[in-house]
Structure 1
Amino acid sequence: MDTLLSSIEMLARWDVMAALFIGSIGGVLVGAMPGVGAAVAIAIVLPVTFALEPIVGLTALLGIYGSSMFGGAIPAILVNTPGTPVNALTTYDGYPMTQRGEARRALSLAYSASFYGAVFSIVALMLLAPFLAKVAPMFGAREIFLAALLGIVLVIVTHRGQVLPAAILACLGIFLQTIGIESTAYTQRFTFGQPWLQSGVDLIVVVLGLFAISQALVLLMGRDKANDLPPVAKIGFFSQMKDLWLYRRVATVASSFGVICGMIPGVGEFMSQFMSYAYAQRSSKTPELFGKGNPEGIVASEAANNSVPAAAMIPLLALGIPGEELTAMMLAVFYVHNVIPGPQLFTQHMDFIYALYLCLFLLNVIVVAFLFFATRTLMKVMLIPNRFLGIMILTFSLIGVYTLRNSMTDVAIASAFGFFGFILKRLDLPTSPIILGIVLGKLMEDRLRTAMARVREPLDFIDRPIAFILFLMIVLAIAGQVWTVVKSRPNRKGTSHD
């Protein structure tokens, strides 16, 4: 109880609440703009948060992270264009309902399912917190190294059909973090005699380039789309929450999938929503209506999406391992303020952990209240021309890069990564493995140095229960991927040439 009261006291400050409100509403606005997304917004805001206290900066980022998918459902349902990539599945049943004149009901189901999924995950994780506090001290240097390696492996193998490019890009990220002066022996690595490489490649510079500048180039190179917005009546909160009660089983199962997938690095929203959607379709009394405007499809997709953010904070806070690019950006805020996520955070700063969970709960309350009263006004955001958005994103990104260290070298590096990210997007290749490679690569190197001081033989590295379990999971993940590749190869036996 004392810990909870301390968390509430930590949040009961005007700057924390202001950051929460601005981040929550800003995330909805960003999510409602097709082509922008939370990653771009967080990349732009990230340099600003370095000047704030950790709880204030993380509150603003959590607001954007947790609310963007709420806003992304609006264009997905109304104009068949997902505001964020994870809202793509919502278009399957949301837009057909709009075509039938049921846009109001589709939006209300999306909002209520999102709120249910978010609250479900927060409650589940607060109940798991005492267990995590006991397990976290069992993770030493070798366990965290293996957990980070498992995170890299899972990020790679979950890119189905793009495993090899994802592996190459993850290795590129691991290589990038080695550039500069090595912190132990103070030797130069891969600087090639260039003074501007001695300080290394800054994570934030790479993030702004790969996500913000590349997306600005995509918007500038594309054409402005004219969206014809359908009329939507005012949505009432209490009158529409009862509609979700009809689909409470689907919402609960979808939220459970979101919690499980969110806790596993490299899995996240996409896996959880497809599993939830498949379950909803198999268990539905009208499976033939999925993809044609079935409300259960919207509930499954949105509940699964919005239950992930809170769960994704678990590997980040307990082990310092981000599951995807958004939590990797948040990890930078921890490092800047010398707050190191890991086992000691759960044992020494439980009030900080609870404060973050309370932030997640409050932001969902703020967002839902805002959406149920301001949807019709918010729809006008979708009318902003893409090229204007591109110019604004590019401008703010370059300003943000320069203000980091007042360095034109950083601007040039970010621009180069922006062009590289633009090429990757044109080729439909993932960019997140690079960011995760930079973050997890640094973590793996540091933990491996520490662990090797007590390791005499290779088997000593996995002689503890948690280390052995993590090693076994890595082997199974790689073996499963190899089996999938071998099984998918065409059987050439018995083939003949005419």
Structure 2
Amino acid sequence: MDLLISAFDILLRWDVALALLAGSVGGVLIGAIPGVGPAVAIAILLPATFSLDPIVGLTVLLGIYGSSMYGGAIPAILINTPGTAVNALTTYDGHPMTARGEPRRALSLAYSASFFGGVFSVVCLILFAPVLAKVAPMFGSREIFLAALLGLILVVVAHRGQTLIAGALACLGIFLNTIGMEPVKYTQRYTFGQDFLGGGINLIVVVLGLFALSQAFVLLTDEDEKIRVSRLRGGLFQGLRELARHPRVAGVSASFGVLMGMIPGVGEFTAQFMSYTYAQKTSKRPQDFGRGSSEGLIAAETSNNAVPAAAMVPLLALGIPGEALTAMMLSVFYVHNVVPGPGLFQNDMDFVVALYLALLILNVLVLVFLLFATGALVQVVRIPNRFLGVCILTLSFVGVYSLRNSVTDCLLAAGFGVFGFVLKRLSLPAVPIILGMVLGGIMEVKLRAAMARIKTPFDFIDRPVAFILFSLIIIVLVAHVLRVRKDRLSLKEAEWQTKTASTSFGALMWRRRNSFLKAHGKKVRARHSRLLRRLTGLF
């Protein structure tokens, strides 16, 4: 009880209340504009938050992070264009409802599901906060290094089909972090005699370039689209009643969001598809999914809004961001000398609870705002792309210049903006670069601190938490290799099947091959196993 009272004392300030209101309303507006998204908004606002108190700056950023998905459902449902990337699955069942004349019902259901997911996530994490406070002291330098390494590996392998390029971009981020002054002996690294590289490459410069400026270039080069918005009819409060008729889907989807949000590099997409698949497989009417199913819409919106609060767990408990948005928030902590990690849960537990309460209040504010302002909000989807692009471009350069009053930073940001634009056009991820920069710095410092007490490689994993993290790294790598191998074998088999089935002789051979394996498959595999044991026995 004392902890909650102390947390409310932190929140009961006029500047925190204003930050909550601005973050919640601003996040909804940003999410409702296709092509902008929370990453661009947070990147632009990041320099301004450095001059604010940590609780005020983080409340604004958390407000945008948590409420943008609410707003992103508006264009996804009305015009079949997701406002944010994570609202793509909302279009599957939201827009078909609009097509059959039920846009207000779809919006109401999306708001209600998002509200339930957000509140469920925050309540779970407030209840688990004492457990995290007990676990956090078990993490020393080597454990944090292994946790950061695990987070980086999870981020890389999460980009299925693009693992190699994601790993290369993560290594690029690690290299960018090494440029400038070395953190232990304070010697210059990779500056090549250039004075402007002596201070290193600022993370905010890279963030603004890769996310804000690149998106501005995309909007400026794309043509404006004429958008027609359906007229809203019906009551917005009916979604709360309809959500109550599907408690199982809502509860399981919110649980998936919490679990996936706590794992670095996984996030909303995995939680969404797991929830959507579960809802479809357990539904009494699976044929309605993709055609306007209320269960499908609940699964998509509940799971993605349960992630933001859960994503703060690795950031606050270990100081390890799991995605680009939490990596940006980490810089706000560092500017104000608030170091996330085990010490934060031991010494500033009221600050942690205040952040979770801010997320809880945020969800209430957003729901009330949307229930009464949706009619006016739907008009923001008509803002021209090029006008948005010019606004983002201007604000981004103002933000970069305000960091150190440096034209060089603006030029670097422009260079990273062009690079991010190329990545977007090639459909390649930019997030591994940011996480490589953040996690690379953490890994370097913690590894050097840990090596002072280590004599043999086995000493690095001689503690329980370190051994568990090391085992998880091995399991993730082995599972990824097996999955890649399985995908390649399936692809080759499908190609061979397509090739042989194109002729009558090939089709005949394919049927004989399947029947032979069905009849004698166990014998063949047993014979191969005996042969393999004999060969290995020779060595």
TM-score w.r.t. structure 1 length?
A: 0.98
Q: Return the letter of the residue paired with 2:310.
A: A
Is 1:272–2:262 an aligned residue pair? no
What's the counterpart of residue 485 of structure 1? Answer: 484
Q: Distance in 2 between matches of 1:14 and 1:429?
A: 42
Classify the secondary structure of the residue corresponding to 2:83: coil
Q: Distance in 2 between matches of 1:324 and 1:466?
A: 23
Is 1:243–2:239 an aligned residue pair? no
Q: Distance in 2 between matches of 1:5 and 1:64?
A: 26
What's the counterpart of residue 416 of structure 1? Answer: 415
Instruction: Determine if contact 2:111/2:239 at 8 Å carries over to the other structure.
Output: no
Q: How does 1:318-467 map to 2 (within 5 A)?
A: 318-467=317-466
Between 1:226-235 and 1:463-472, the stretch displaced more is 226-235
Counting aligned pairs with the same residue, the percent is 65
Q: Return the letter of the residue paired with 1:457.
A: T
Q: How does 1:163-182 map to 2 (within 5 A)?
A: 163-182=163-182
Q: Return the letter of the residue paired with 1:43.
A: A
What's the counterpart of residue 474 of structure 1? Answer: 473
| Structure 1 position 234, deviation (Å) | 6.0
Classify the secondary structure of the residue corresponding to 1:177: helix
Instruction: Determine if contact 2:107/2:236 at 8 Å carries over to the other structure.
Output: no
Between 1:247-256 and 1:478-487, the stretch displaced more is 478-487
Q: Distance in 1 between matches of 2:358 and 2:390?
A: 32
| Structure 1 position 483, deviation (Å) | 1.0
Q: Distance in 2 between matches of 1:216 and 1:165?
A: 24
| Structure 1 position 233, deviation (Å) | 2.8
What's the counterpart of residue 26 of structure 1? Answer: 26
- Give the number of the structure whose alpha-carbon radius of gyration is greater: 2
Classify the secondary structure of the residue corresponding to 1:430: coil
Q: Distance in 1 between matches of 2:98 and 2:484?
A: 41
Q: Distance in 1 between matches of 2:311 and 2:234?
A: 33
User: Deviations for 1:368-401, whole angstroms, at most 9, x for unmatched residues?
Assistant: 0000000010011001000000000000000000
Is 1:122–2:122 an aligned residue pair? yes
Q: Distance in 2 between matches of 1:437 and 1:318?
A: 19
Q: What root-mean-square deviation, in Å, do the aligned CA atoms of Structure 1 and Structure 2 show? A: 1.4
Instruction: Determine if contact 1:177/1:200 at 8 Å carries over to the other structure.
Output: yes
Classify the secondary structure of the residue corresponding to 1:229: coil
Q: How many residues align?
A: 497
Is 1:59–2:59 an aligned residue pair? yes
Q: Distance in 1 between matches of 2:488 and 2:73?
A: 38
Q: How does 1:3-18 map to 2 (within 5 A)?
A: 3-18=3-18
Classify the secondary structure of the residue corresponding to 1:254: helix
User: Deviations for 1:145-166, whole angstroms, at most 9, x for unmatched residues?
Assistant: 0000000000000101111110
Consecutive aligned runs of 4 or more in structure 1 exceeding 3 Å deviation? 234-237, 490-498
Q: Distance in 2 between matches of 1:304 and 1:121?
A: 10
What's the counterpart of residue 213 of structure 1? Answer: 213
| Structure 1 position 490, deviation (Å) | 4.0
Q: Distance in 2 between matches of 1:214 and 1:240?
A: 37
Q: Distance in 2 between matches of 1:490 and 1:308?
A: 34
What's the counterpart of residue 91 of structure 1? Answer: 91
Is 1:139–2:139 an aligned residue pair? yes
Classify the secondary structure of the residue corresponding to 1:26: helix
What's the counterpart of residue 294 of structure 2? Answer: 295
Instruction: Determine if contact 2:110/2:239 at 8 Å carries over to the other structure.
Output: no
| Structure 1 position 485, deviation (Å) | 1.6
Instruction: Determine if contact 1:234/1:376 at 8 Å carries over to the other structure.
Output: no
Q: Distance in 1 between matches of 2:239 and 2:162?
A: 41
Is 1:162–2:162 an aligned residue pair? yes
Instruction: Determine if contact 2:105/2:234 at 8 Å carries over to the other structure.
Output: no
Q: Distance in 2 between matches of 1:236 and 1:69?
A: 18
Q: Distance in 2 between matches of 1:431 and 1:273?
A: 21
Classify the secondary structure of the residue corresponding to 2:178: coil
> Any gaps of 5 or more consecutive residues in structure 1?
none
User: Deviations for 1:82-134, whole angstroms, at most 9, x for unmatched residues?
Assistant: 00000000000000000000111100100000000000011100110010000
| Structure 1 position 236, deviation (Å) | 3.8
Q: Return the letter of the residue paired with 1:412.
A: L
Q: Return the letter of the residue paired with 2:11.
A: L
User: Deviations for 1:207-251, whole angstroms, at most 9, x for unmatched residues?
Assistant: 0000000000000000101110000136443x4311111111101
Q: Distance in 2 between matches of 1:489 and 1:58?
A: 44
What's the counterpart of residue 100 of structure 2? Answer: 100
Instruction: Determine if contact 2:104/2:236 at 8 Å carries over to the other structure.
Output: no
Q: Distance in 1 between matches of 2:487 and 2:16?
A: 52
Between 1:178-187 and 1:307-316, the stretch displaced more is 178-187
Instruction: Determine if contact 1:262/1:312 at 8 Å carries over to the other structure.
Output: yes
What's the counterpart of residue 82 of structure 1? Answer: 82
| Structure 1 position 12, deviation (Å) | 0.4
Q: Distance in 2 between matches of 1:111 and 1:271?
A: 21
> Any gaps of 5 or more consecutive residues in structure 2?
501-505, 507-539
User: Deviations for 1:385-427, whole angstroms, at most 9, x for unmatched residues?
Assistant: 0000000000000000001000000000000000000000000
Instruction: Determine if contact 1:63/1:360 at 8 Å carries over to the other structure.
Output: yes
Q: Return the letter of the residue paired with 1:50.
A: F
Q: How does 1:182-193 map to 2 (within 5 A)?
A: 182-193=182-193
User: Deviations for 1:4-34, whole angstroms, at most 9, x for unmatched residues?
Assistant: 1111011000001101100110000000000
Q: Distance in 1 between matches of 2:366 and 2:183?
A: 43
